[in-house]
Amino acid sequence: MPKLKTNKSAKKRFKISKRRKVLRSKASRRHLLTDKSSKKKRGLRSKAVVTPAMKDKVLKLLPYG
């Protein structure tokens, strides 16, 4: 069976944990940061878990993840 290609954009956006959870970065951390509180920016630093509905689609894009 031939090797499967990894989707490069998905590889840059998602990380798969040891327990097969798909992690993603949170939005709103790029610009206009002076208007946001330190507490909000600190909360945006952490990773979020992808919803179960999207998890299967992401895992299909990352066959060796």
**CA angle, residues 31, 17, 24, in degrees to nearest 5:** 20
Report, as an integer, the average pLDDT of 28-47: 97
pLDDT reading at 9 higher than 90: yes
- Of 1, 3, 23, 2, give the one whose Cα is nearest residue 64: 3
The pLDDT score that the predictor gives to residue 7 is 97
Within 17-51, where are the H helices?
Answer: 38-45
Question: Which residue is associated with the tokens 């590889």?
Answer: 11
The pLDDT score that the predictor gives to residue 65 is 82
Give the C-alpha separation, 2 to 57, whole Å.
Answer: 21
Question: Which residue is associated with the tokens 């920016």?
Answer: 41
The pLDDT score that the predictor gives to residue 44 is 97
pTM over 0.75: yes
Query: Who wins on pLDDT, 65 or 61?
Result: 61
57 within 8 A of 49, measured Cβ to Cβ: no
